[in-house]
Structure 1
Amino acid sequence: MEVDTTIKNNTYTQKHSHSENHNHHYSHFPSKTIVITITVVATVTILFTIFMVIFLLRRQKTSTKNETCKDKSRVLHDTSSRFIASTTLTFTSSPDVKRGCLHGGNINRTPVPKFRGVQVFTYKELEVATDGFSEAKVIGNGGFGLMYRGVLSDGTLAAIKLLNREGKQGERAFRTEVDLLSHLHSPYLVELLGYCADHNHRLLIFEYMPNGTLHHYIHSSNNQTQPLDWWARMRIALDCARALELLHEHAVSPVIHRDFKSNNVLLDHNFRAKVSDFGLVKMGSEKKNGHVSTRVLGTTGYLAPEYASTGKLTTKSDVYSYGVVLLELLTGRVPVDIKRAPGEHVLVAWALPRLTNREKVVEMVDPALRGQYSKKDLIQVAAIAAMCIQPEADYRPLMTDVVQSLIPLVRNPSSLGASSSLRFQRQTPSPSPRH
């Protein structure tokens, strides 16, 4: 009996022990499953995170390249209507297309975009527009190349300037005009329709001005050209004054034209004037009476004396050139004419002592006007011209003052108040001796 009991007890103990071991094993199974699950989830999360980081880095790199491309192209294509001075004269290399970015150059592989009306053309398009740059299409010959009359693919009549690439000045003139006229828009400045920088070709496309240059209308010996009447001349004088006022006083930084002359004043079908040819523009100093020193460029007869002798350029240098053009409108004479009698070769030297003498002013007037003008208006214009061509730059007026003095003449040419007509005469210093 004892043996049986012992056996039974041992049997029970073994069973109980086995049961405990079984239960102990069963209790550890869920913990291992959780650990494995967590490990798998963590691994997947880490791999997914790595994948996303790589994806985002690649996307950022692509975005950066695109932004770089846009930034480079923005030099010529910024759609801001303000003139950005810092980009005007900072071009250092020829335009080109590199790595898919438009640099204003070889356009053959790039769609033609438009930026505020300034369009990029291929050389082939402009060749077609001018019948292969036919001599019959030539309408002018400027300092940097020939001007052609052309018809664009959309039927627009345009003036197309083919720039001479010899020397650095032509390249600089091209870049300066594109940058200036892409940012500065005005009814008194000729409109830039587009440009071409296809390989080695440099062309500028402007609005077409059907009546040509002011110089042609004043000085042409062609009997078919009708002389400009006094009213038209006064409107032209005011349009030109407003153009220079815009450049000098309303741009972000002062802009000096540096080659203002009657050949660079264009006339539309209504004989309204627009200033053109900005290849020689220079940024002026913003300091009071400040100047910039530069190489003397321009046209004989229009250069201010201080600029011609020292190379010191200010906005008052343009004012002097404007005064010469005003004398052309008043007298019908060219700035320099060696065919005239001694003492009359240089227009400014001949005119300055006469402008404040009422009797002599009448004798100076262009015979083509045939006396059809108001004497009050004549005295006012003579006074303005006398101020503009003063040898001392400090005596010359601002273009804003010129504009304000011309407005009454254009609004009401037949009657001008005495106080207005004497505005400039009270300021005019004693005439300098002829030189």
Structure 2
Amino acid sequence: MDKSLTSATYIRNISYRLRRQLSDFLDPQDTWKEVIVSIRKRNGEPRYSQHHVRRFEGLVAQGRSPTVELLNDWGTSNSTVGELVDILKSNKLLAAADLLLPNTTVEEVTSPETLQISSAETHSALPTRLLEERELPPPPPPPPVSCNLQPQIPQEDTEPGHTGELELTSFLYSELKRITGDFDDRSTSNGGSRLGEGGFGTVYKGFLDNRPVAVKKLNPMDDMPMDTLQVQFYQEIQTLTVLKHENLVDMVGFSTDEQQLCLVYAFMANGSVLDRLACLEGSPPLSWQQRCLIAEGAARGLEYLHCNHHIHRDVKSANILLDENLVAKISDFGLTRASANQTSTTMMTERVVGTCAYMAPEALRGEITPKSDVFSFGVVLLEILSGLPPSDENREPQFLMDVRYDIDDEDEALTLEDFMDKKMRGWHLSHATNIYSLACNCLHDRKNRRPVMKQVLSEIRGVVKSVSLESDV
């Protein structure tokens, strides 16, 4: 039992560890079905139909827990632990109920009258979509032994990072308004708070106890209704609660009150790689050594994600942020998926997501695989080499990923040396050739011909070591 749990705790705030313990009670003999048929909407109608039940049954063949997935889905509403315990006890599932709230009688949790009132008052204004209408965010994986490395003991070929539940702060929306100057839409350079556009929302700068933070206010769009946005909101929280690494952005907390979804992160003083390569707001060009270190850091972050069986699905230079020391941090995890069975297998989805200029051929077909992240990272490497944006309507070819065909074509005049960023100093053609060859390998049309992120990281490290040795001479 989590001592912080009360009958008023939202189901979505039940830890993954406790969800797995509940699944030990409810998965055998399909006991979870007794729970799902008891879950009701505000009007008293069943929340889930037999069609939904069959969909949950299908998860078993994928090695996934129907109980965990049910709690993930039900948790997108404002349903509480008290409501869940009432259902468990009404179905004589006392051991499971006691796991959540030991020694609590049904009357102590919620009376029928209280349940009716609380259900009407706290029902989310962000409704839960039916299961067949959207993807369920998968549960985070248990920490694999081989990847659960200790940050305080740096070793050769190991990555600092760990998995495990982290405590995040739940902010009042009014507090976030206060620290961002009421979400002042003027840019920070003009005295406002607006830092720019992030994934599915606008990012503002604020201060918590004199510490700068970035507040992302999520906004529904024509192609992103509020309920879908809510799923991605909780997916990002879920991912960054479970996974922690030097090269992943640090989440401070979140806010869900007043029907507003906000995420709070540590402030990244140097913005995104996309903006720094463009020398936005007069920032100086990145040197070759800085770019190599940024590439290495981003590769480390992605390798850590893949090592922990997560696929980012939207790798791009705009989602690689830089702190005050130009340390690369992967951000925007709203589209992230955990691999089925905690393996690096391919999954399928009917909803194709991502950014077109970075998308692998299989991603356009709805395949979800770590090799798609590798492909997208190949585009990022080309950006680092050239300083060019990933897409430009006035450029031929429009997509940067296609420029490699001109470089590799002996009948074309474009060479790698011509392709390199003219603003960059300190680069050597031999090192640049290594990174370019790696990028081309990452961009192979056939995913099985691409390297895995561990190989990508190893090759970049080799270049970084060579560059460091030469700079010391």
- Normalized against structure 1, the TM-score is what? 0.69
Change (3 A) 1:411 1:122: same
1:243 deviation in Å? 0.9
Aligned to 1:128, which of 156, 164, 178?
A: 178
Change (3 A) 1:355 1:382: farther
Equivalent pair of 1:130/1:149 in contact (CA under 8 Å)? yes
1:396 deviation in Å? 0.5
Partner of 1:116: 166
- Which secondary structure state, in structure 2, belongs to the residue aligned with residue 182 of structure 1? helix
Q: Distance in 1 between matches of 2:452 and 2:433?
A: 19
Change (3 A) 1:117 1:167: closer
Aligned to 1:367, which of 422, 425, 435?
A: 422
| 1:168 lines up with 2:223 in the alignment | no
Q: Which stretch of the first structure deviates more once superposed, 291-300 or 67-76? A: 67-76
Change (3 A) 1:179 1:91: farther
Change (3 A) 1:185 1:63: closer
1:117 deviation in Å? 4.6
Change (3 A) 1:132 1:389: same
- CA distances 1:11-67 after superposition (whole Å, capped 9, x unpaired): xxxxxxxxxxxxxxxxxxxxxxxxxxxxxxxxxxxxxxxxxxxxxxxxxxx999967
Give unpaired runs (5+ residues) of structure 2: 20-63, 84-99, 101-120, 123-164, 186-191
Change (3 A) 1:130 1:364: same
Equivalent pair of 2:12/2:72 in contact (CA under 8 Å)? no
Change (3 A) 1:149 1:227: same
Aligned to 2:193, which of 137, 148, 165?
A: 137
Q: Distance in 2 between matches of 1:384 and 1:177?
A: 30
Aligned to 2:72, which of 84, 90, 97?
A: 90
- CA distances 1:58-101 after superposition (whole Å, capped 9, x unpaired): xxxx9999676679465358699xxxx97699344445485889
Partner of 1:390: 444
Equivalent pair of 1:213/1:265 in contact (CA under 8 Å)? yes
| 1:301 lines up with 2:357 in the alignment | yes
Q: Distance in 1 between matches of 2:456 and 2:215?
A: 32
Q: Distance in 1 between matches of 2:267 and 2:244?
A: 16
Q: Distance in 1 between matches of 2:351 and 2:76?
A: 23
Equivalent pair of 1:76/1:179 in contact (CA under 8 Å)? no
1:407 deviation in Å? 1.2
Change (3 A) 1:319 1:72: same
In angstroms, what is the RMSD of aligned CA positions?
A: 3.4
Give unpaired runs (5+ residues) of structure 1: 1-61, 107-114, 417-435
Aligned to 2:381, which of 310, 320, 326?
A: 326
Change (3 A) 1:395 1:352: farther
- CA distances 1:130-187 after superposition (whole Å, capped 9, x unpaired): 12111221111134211110112x2221100111254322101110011110111111
* Matched-pair identity in %: 31
Equivalent pair of 1:210/1:269 in contact (CA under 8 Å)? yes
- Which secondary structure state, in structure 2, belongs to the residue aligned with residue 367 of structure 1? coil
Equivalent pair of 2:313/2:373 in contact (CA under 8 Å)? yes
Partner of 2:323: 268
Q: Distance in 2 between matches of 1:218 and 1:67?
A: 49
- Which secondary structure state, in structure 2, belongs to the residue aligned with residue 320 of structure 1? helix
1:125 deviation in Å? 1.3
Change (3 A) 1:307 1:73: closer
Matched AA of 2:285: P
Partner of 1:75: 14
Partner of 1:232: 290
Equivalent pair of 1:245/1:400 in contact (CA under 8 Å)? yes
Partner of 1:411: 465
Equivalent pair of 1:91/1:175 in contact (CA under 8 Å)? no
Equivalent pair of 1:118/1:195 in contact (CA under 8 Å)? yes
Q: Distance in 2 between matches of 1:303 and 1:73?
A: 31
Change (3 A) 1:302 1:183: same
- Which secondary structure state, in structure 2, belongs to the residue aligned with residue 185 of structure 1? strand
| 1:351 lines up with 2:407 in the alignment | no
Partner of 2:253: 194
Q: Distance in 2 between matches of 1:382 and 1:356?
A: 15
Matched AA of 2:467: P
Q: Distance in 1 between matches of 2:79 and 2:256?
A: 10
Matched AA of 1:131: G
Q: Distance in 2 between matches of 1:121 and 1:237?
A: 34
Change (3 A) 1:356 1:346: same
- Normalized against structure 2, the TM-score is what? 0.63
Partner of 2:25: none
When Rg is computed on C-alpha atoms for both structures, the one with the higher figure is 1
Matched AA of 1:397: P
Change (3 A) 1:264 1:65: closer
Equivalent pair of 1:294/1:313 in contact (CA under 8 Å)? no
Q: Distance in 1 between matches of 2:331 and 2:344?
A: 27
Partner of 2:366: 311
- Which secondary structure state, in structure 2, belongs to the residue aligned with residue 301 of structure 1? helix
Aligned to 2:278, which of 200, 215, 219?
A: 219
Q: Which stretch of the first structure deviates more once superposed, 121-130 or 407-416? A: 407-416
